Amino acid sequence: MTRSLTILGATGSIGRSTSDVVLSHRDEFRIEAVVGGRDAQALAEVARRLGARFAALADERGGAELREALAGSGIASGAGDAAVIEAAERDADVVLAAISGAAGLRPTHAAMKSGRRLALANKESLVCAGAAFMADAKRLGVEIMPVDSEHNALDQALAAGRNVDVEKAIITATGGPFRTWPRERIAKASAKEASAHPVWSMGSKINIDSATLMNKGLELIEAHHLFGLEAERLDVLVHPEAIVHGLVQWSDGALTAGLALPDMKVPIANALRHRERLRMDLPRLDLAAIGGLSFERPDETRFPCLSLAKAALQAGGAMPVVLNAANEIAVEAFMAGRIGFYAISEYVESVCSIFSRRNIAAPSTVSEALAIDEEARVTARQAIPAVDEQTLPQGARKGR
């Protein structure tokens, strides 16, 4: 049966992998809409390749360029926030939500329609508005399928038993580019070094989140909302080979694990069709050829962002929203060379400390979440420019 599909974030790494899955199964999917950020030419190319009916660019300034690039194709287009929401709301059986960051929260929420499947790759939707988001999904009868390889593996592993019998649900991390580096060397790391992920091909911001291990912390918060598991039953394990993506420890001592080669097309295909698996022409996992798999505990002294995320999850309320907002601003400053690597965690901790004294309740709506997000961003921006550049590692000073 052919299913209609909308791709939010079609020009990013997840979107490109989704295009590959769709193009290898042209009879399975019809593309209703595609959404991109600022690159009109890239979005037009994706829309033409997939035969989309509608293309929306988030950056309103690129609307004319997009229309010109799509001229003669018969593909309708729009630009700006309203066009993105229109794309998210168009009739489709499945919406793959892969717009990065808190910017993806509103369109991802707009994509929730009765009886629809939401293939979720925007973790910030659950980090920032998890309780409200999941409540709306339940009310509307929306099936949420995780696209992140870790949560997709957990989803499959959890099918082996009941949630009440889960002792631990564990997501894995490669450890990032600095896994074996001493703290002194990490402190001097440049944005280029932090962006060099050892396994996955992702955007720069996500790569840096992987280097700080903040990405794993955000994924713990996401897992809490997706699977209804308390913080005490969630954990992270460093696994450099990226073959085991998620594990479930059961009350009887058994361990169920989800394994796959590190290729995002595997969890994407599963999320798009779920119980009706697509046959993918991908290399098969050969454990004998790999020979061995290694695991270790994460070092939260060298990677304090993971501890900050765990604390935000434990604290609840608005703290996950604040954590994510402060991190996005701090990572932006690090990428611009304005602060050093460990200043990311320092500024995130400072902003979280300011908001923790106010004891703000968890947002009950997406609008509330976005309001808290903006307030936390303002606080973070006010704090970061005060940095004394003379205290930074030489490679991290502005303009160097």
- Residues 112-148 pLDDT 10s: 999 999 999 998 899 999 999 999 999 999 999 999 9
- Residues 264-290 pLDDT 10s: 999 999 999 887 889 999 999 999 999
- pTM, whole model, 2 decimals? 0.92
pLDDT at 100: 85
pLDDT at 395: 40
Enter the DSSP assignment of 224. Answer: H
Given a cut of 70, is residue 94 above it in pLDDT?
Answer: yes
Cβ neighbours of residue 127 under 8 Å, at least 6 residues apart?
218, 221, 222, 320, 321, 323, 324
Q: Name the strands in the sheet holding 234-238, side by side, starting at the edge strand that comes first in the sequence.
A: 234-238, 166-173, 244-250, 255-259
- Label residues 269-298 b or e (16+ Cβ within 10 Å = b): bbbbbbeeebebeeeeeeeeeeeeeeeeeb
pLDDT at 276: 84
Write down the mean pLDDT value for the chain.
Answer: 93
Distance CA 194, CA 204 (A): 9
pLDDT at 102: 83
Between strands 3-8 and 94-97, the pairing is parallel
Distance CA 22, CA 343 (A): 41
Cβ atoms within 10 Å of 332's Cβ, excluding its own: 18
- Residues 361-400 pLDDT 10s: 999 999 999 999 999 999 999 998 654 444 444 444 433 3
pLDDT at 396: 46
Stretch 212-220: mean pLDDT, rounded? Answer: 97
pLDDT at 199: 82
Helix (H, G, I), strand (E, B), or coil: what is residue 266? helix
- The enclosing H or E element of 144 equals strand 143-146
* Residue 9, amino acid: G
Distance CA 28, CA 277 (A): 12
Given a cut of 50, is residue 202 above it in pLDDT?
Answer: yes
Place of tokens 């929730």: 112
CATH topology of domain 316-400: Rna Polymerase Sigma Factor; Chain: A (1.10.1740)
Q: Name the strands in the sheet holding 76-79, side by side, starting at the edge strand that comes first in the sequence.
A: 76-79, 54-57, 29-36, 3-8, 94-97, 117-120, 143-146
pLDDT at 397: 41
pLDDT at 294: 97
- Residues 5-59 pLDDT 10s: 999 999 999 999 999 999 999 999 999 999 999 999 999 999 999 999 999 999 9
For the four alpha carbons of 277, 282, 287 and 292, in that order, the dihedral sign comes to: negative
Place of tokens 């998210």: 88
Percent of the chain with pLDDT over 70: 96
Given a cut of 90, is residue 103 above it in pLDDT?
Answer: no
Instruction: Specify whether the CB–CB gap between 36 and 60 falls below 8 A.
Output: no
Domain regions of the chain by residue span:
3-146, 158-262+297-315, 316-400
- Residues 296-349 pLDDT 10s: 999 999 999 999 999 999 999 999 999 999 999 999 999 999 999 999 999 999
pLDDT at 203: 73
Distance CA 400, CA 395 (A): 6
Given a cut of 50, is residue 111 above it in pLDDT?
Answer: yes
90 vs 205, which has greater pLDDT?
90
- Residues 161-196 pLDDT 10s: 999 999 999 999 999 999 999 999 999 999 999 998
* Residue 155, amino acid: D
Distance CA 84, CA 88 (A): 6
Q: Which CATH number fits domain 3-146: 2.60.120.10, 3.40.50.300, 3.40.50.720, 3.40.50.1240?
A: 3.40.50.720
End-to-end CA distance of the chain: 56
Instruction: Specify whether the CB–CB gap between 382 and 354 falls below 8 A.
Output: no
Given a cut of 60, is residue 105 above it in pLDDT?
Answer: yes
Between strands 166-173 and 143-146, the pairing is unpaired
Instruction: Render 342-372 in DSSP notation, one character per residue.
Output: HHHHHHHHHHHHHHHTTTPPPPSSHHHHHHH
pLDDT at 156: 96
Structure tokens at 377: 């961003």
pLDDT at 262: 94
- The enclosing H or E element of 69 equals helix 63-69
Of the pLDDT bands very low, low, confident and very high (cuts 50, 70, 90), residue 225 is very high
In terms of phi and psi (left: phi > 0; alpha: psi -120 to 50; beta: otherwise), the region of 74 is left
